[in-house]
Amino acid sequence: MPVDLPAITPSIGSKIPVISLFSGAGGLDLAVERVADAPLLSPVVPSAGPFRVAVATDYSAQALDTLALNLPETATWPGDIRDTPTSELLRIGSLSEGDAALVVGGPPCTPFSKSGFWLAEKRESRDPNASLLEEYVRVIAQARPEAFVLENVQALTYKTHEKHFTQLLAALAELGYNPQWKTLLAADFGVPQLRKRVFIVGRRDGRAFHFPEPTHAGPSETTRTWDTSKVPHVTAEQAFAGLETTAEMGELVEGKYGELAAEVPGGQNYLWHTSRFGGRNEFEWRSRYWTFLLRLAPQKPSSTLQAQPGPYVGPFHWENLPNAEGELRARRLRVPELLRLMTFPDNFRLIGRRADVQRQLGNAVPLELGKAVLRALTLQLGYIDAETDSDDRLVRSTSDAVLIS
């Protein structure tokens, strides 16, 4: 049986430590440290929130370099979690069992992503990396945080992965954490991206966590009616408002499908070039993945940003630019635009080449989505009070109204 541990009572002026697993570039970590901050586009500054990320670990040393660049007070540990004892993480973070308020993290989603469903091992849920869920549970069991937040792709909840998902919930429940889960749409929380992710949240005291109510609403791939009393989804055009960018090397879509990509209107994909639409009749209906030659629609949120897109996988920007020969070509999204679509601060810095940056951001948790879940948990744990939270929601509403005006 788990050992009962007292609730954490921070001393005045101190911040409560958090352990981050599968940290990547630090999207969820940034949400932890900025949980009490006003939303959207504010720079990376010291937060008045109650938490600090004491230790972060990830298999990718490069991603951790990015995290350290933006959260320099966080101790980082690059390495495979399967080879990293919990005691080592506690040592690096100067922690003991029960010290951490939270354990947060998103085990790599590759084993459960729809992107690789042509592989038999994924269709049959045999990917060996699925064991990383067990490592997450192991750290919870040995670190005994006051609560945890686990994030993953929606496909983790599909019937194909029912065994893994059921075992995960059962293991967390056996530890006394009473896990609650829900699939959330990032756009419903002010993120200009139609990105669905499942969150699992549990508390050491066994009380049920209550997920936050959406602040925004609008159409999506599966939604045709929505709550019009809420703030409309933030569009890609609104997200890019006031953003000044410069051309990036290799940003134009050239090669075999370069000319076809340039002819696709904003909001359309390769289906534009089938017999059913106004382009060339080059492709069979539904013969490619949805993101093939996909262009952003200015008046809608972006589709999910891909971590490892192929050369013709979007979303691409809706504007065309001339190449060296003067021929119009679609262009890829620039790094500052990717940051805006993830609701990361404009001054967030990333390590690596363009492909490395895309991978780090594509694998990250959008900041405002992470903050929404963590804010609800922080409120329910009593680390911010209802009055403070209400005041901040007023700031959120005002900020959003300015953004969409």
Give the active site residues: 109
- Structure-token pair, residue 397: 């509403």
What are the Cα distances from residue 31, in Å, to 201, 240, 339? 15, 21, 14
CA–CA dist 60, 396 (Å, integer)? 34
Query: Could you tell me how far CA 11 lies from the centroid of its own chain?
Result: 31
CA–CA dist 362, 186 (Å, integer)? 13
Listed in sequence order, the DSSP H helices in 246-385 are 258-263, 335-341, 354-362, 367-381
- Structure-token pair, residue 213: 């109510």
The number of C-alpha atoms within 13 Å of 28 and in the hemisphere containing its C-beta is 29
- Per DSSP, the residues of 306-334 read PSS--TTBSPBPS-EEE-TTS-EEEBPPP
Convert 63-101 to b/e letters by CB count within 10 Å (16 or more is b). bbbbbbebbeebebbbeebeebebeebbebbebeebbbb
Residue pair 41/56 in contact (Cβ under 8 Å)? The answer is: no
